[in-house]
Amino acid sequence: MRFFSTRNKQDNVSFAAAALSGLAPDGGLFVPQEIPQYTAAVRSSLGTMGYCDVAFETIKPYVAGDIPDSVLEDIVHSAYPFSAPLVTVGDRMVLELFHGPTAAFKDFGARFMARAFSYLRRGEQKPLRILVATSGDTGGAVADGFFEVPGISVTVLYPKGRVTPLQERQIAGLGGNISAIAVEGSFDDCQRLVKAALGDENLRKRMDLSSANSINISRLIPQSVYYAAAAGKAFAGLTDPGGEATPKAKGEGWNMEGGGWRVNTNAADLRARAGQPAILTVPSGNFGNLTAGLYAMKMGAPVKQFIAATNINKTVPDFLVSGDYQPRDSQATISNAMDVGAPSNFERMAAHFSWEEMRRIILGVYISDEETRRTIHDVHQHYGYFIDPHTAVGWNGTDKLLAEKQIEAGPAAILSTAHPAKFSETVEPITGKIPVPVSLSKTMERKVDSKTIPAEVSAFMEMLY
């Protein structure tokens, strides 16, 4: 498989080169020359395959020639001792992406990436420095994934005062080969500083640099896996029991089944919807997650449509209506990981799809903070289920489009991108105490160790040099 820049289709590189460099030399993002297709046998088995098997079949064609099959098998089994349960909540499904060590969907990309980098750089003597901009969860997942990986150091930039206390401890509480910088600005400022550093020729001569944001293709591709696995299950009329981290409240509407918790499961209704491709709602900020879903769809996963649900940072929903892409300054909200006014991965989306194609595949919707809080309350009140602000944006966005009859009733799943305990400051005043996974309770014992800089390229360069 070869990869080219979104800004130059003439030059192409291997997966290893694209992953290790992060950003293309011209400032573009790497995209595959073609989206591979699942074989008929894999496509028909997605709903019943184990998660690591789906991961192997999904990632394999992208890394062919750089990572042998036997090594890829080891990587996916090491990266994913957890999975992504598809549970039912009321009359819809929720894809729980918070069963990894940092309780956020970023674990799926970051853990694969760390192990792939370790293999691809085997035998290298010169250390690698990874630069990461985060609006919250990416930094923690990358820090955890790369912690104590030999020959690799990570610098995480996050907007000062715009991440939760838990997120800050995940980003800046490990030490060792992980360093953290609090930027006096927005996520867009952090992203701008990282891009400036990655594009600085003098800096690249001094050290090997790469990125671990969703601008890096090696973090984006493994995120396609949970879309394929979930869409396959929905198509087969199947769901999973919840896991240890499933944010449940014991009481009415809950019943023990299959060794875990399900919420108001209607098996007959699920069977009736079998054979229909799913509508997947994606809480969206930088749009890397949705781009990964588009890849899964093009590979053959049974997805009918995507809902791109944003907060008031609605650059892409506006584009889907008008065809005019207008990036803007981000605005702070309670769904802070989605506070992105200039989403990087829109460039990838535009490289693969025209405006007309995007409008057919993606429905855009945006949600206010007031609506987000009300949805957190209503879901907990009706179903005894806790959701974080980002999942609430997706839930409410689905409600809106159903009410407007822009989507039809059928198999619908909302991606739950983070555990609600990561946003307890927002959620608990609405719902009461949230059950906290062990991984998060241990994280709160860490001390924050970070440096603060203004949102200026010169200040960041001074730290790097």
pLDDT at 149: 87
pLDDT at 465 over 90: no
For the chain, the distance separating the N- and C-terminal CA atoms, rounded to the nearest angstrom, is 35
pLDDT at 260: 36
pLDDT at 254: 43
- Higher pLDDT residue, 79 or 127? 79
Per-residue pLDDT of 197-214, as tens digits, reads 988 889 988 888 988 877
Which two structure tokens, joined as six digits, stand for 308? 């791109």
Contact 358, 320 (CB under 8 A): yes
Which two structure tokens, joined as six digits, stand for 423? 């946003």
Per-residue pLDDT of 259-282, as tens digits, reads 333 444 455 566 667 789 999 999
* Cβ density class 427-450: b for 16+ within 10 Å, e for less: beebbeebebbebbeebeeeeeeb
Which whole number is the average pLDDT over 369-398? Answer: 97
- Low-confidence winner among 59-63, 354-358, 406-410 (lowest mean pLDDT): 406-410
> What is the share, in percent, of the chain residues with pLDDT greater than 90?
75
Distance CA 167, CA 182 (A): 12
- Low-confidence winner among 101-105, 128-132, 163-167 (lowest mean pLDDT): 163-167
Pick from 347, 184, 25, 152: which is nearest to 193 by CA? 184
pLDDT at 160 over 90: yes
pLDDT at 57: 98
Burial environment of residue 325 by CB neighbours within 10 A (0 to 12, 13 to 18, 19 or more) = middle
Residue with the two structure tokens 């959701």 = 387
pLDDT at 15 over 70: yes
Which whole number is the average pLDDT over 161-167? Answer: 89
Residue with the two structure tokens 């875990």 = 260
pLDDT at 247: 94
Which whole number is the average pLDDT over 216-229? Answer: 96
pLDDT at 261: 37
Phi, psi of 308 (to 5 degrees): -95, 105
| Polymer length of the chain | 465
pLDDT at 107: 95
Per-residue pLDDT of 225-269, as tens digits, reads 999 999 999 999 999 988 889 998 654 444 434 333 344 445 556
Which whole number is the average pLDDT over 129-141? Answer: 88
Residue with the two structure tokens 């007959």 = 268
pLDDT at 248: 86
Q: Looking at the domain that runs over 84-103+220-437, which CATH code has it been given? A: 3.40.50.1100
pLDDT at 277: 94
Instruction: List, in sequence order, the alpha helices (H) in 173-265.
Output: 187-198, 201-206, 217-220, 224-236
Burial environment of residue 198 by CB neighbours within 10 A (0 to 12, 13 to 18, 19 or more) = buried
Torsion of CA 171, 169, 113, 241, to 10 degrees: -150
pLDDT at 345: 94
pLDDT at 262: 41
pLDDT at 265: 47
Contact 389, 372 (CB under 8 A): yes
Pick from 399, 435, 393: which is nearest to 417 by CA? 393
> What is the share, in percent, of the chain residues with pLDDT greater than 70?
94
pLDDT at 52: 98
Measured CA distances, 338 to 209, 217, 417, 418 (Å): 26, 20, 11, 12
- Higher pLDDT residue, 271 or 61? 61
pLDDT at 284 over 50: yes
Residue with the two structure tokens 């209506």 = 321
Which whole number is the average pLDDT over 336-360? Answer: 93
pLDDT at 255: 42
3-state secondary structure of 279: strand
Distance CA 383, CA 394 (A): 16
CB atoms within 10 A of CB 24: 24
pLDDT at 327: 94
Distance CA 161, CA 186 (A): 9
CB atoms within 10 A of CB 305: 20
Q: What is the DSSP string of 1-37?
A: -EEEETTEEEEEEEHHHHHHH-S-TTS--EEESS---
Contact 73, 54 (CB under 8 A): no
pLDDT at 419: 95
The chain-wide mean pLDDT, for the chain, equals 91
pLDDT at 159 over 50: yes
3-state secondary structure of 38: coil
Which whole number is the average pLDDT over 426-445? Answer: 93
Distance CA 307, CA 241 (A): 25
Distance CA 463, CA 143 (A): 19
Q: Residue ranges of the domains in the chain?
A: 84-103+220-437
- Low-confidence winner among 122-136, 380-394, 431-445 (lowest mean pLDDT): 122-136
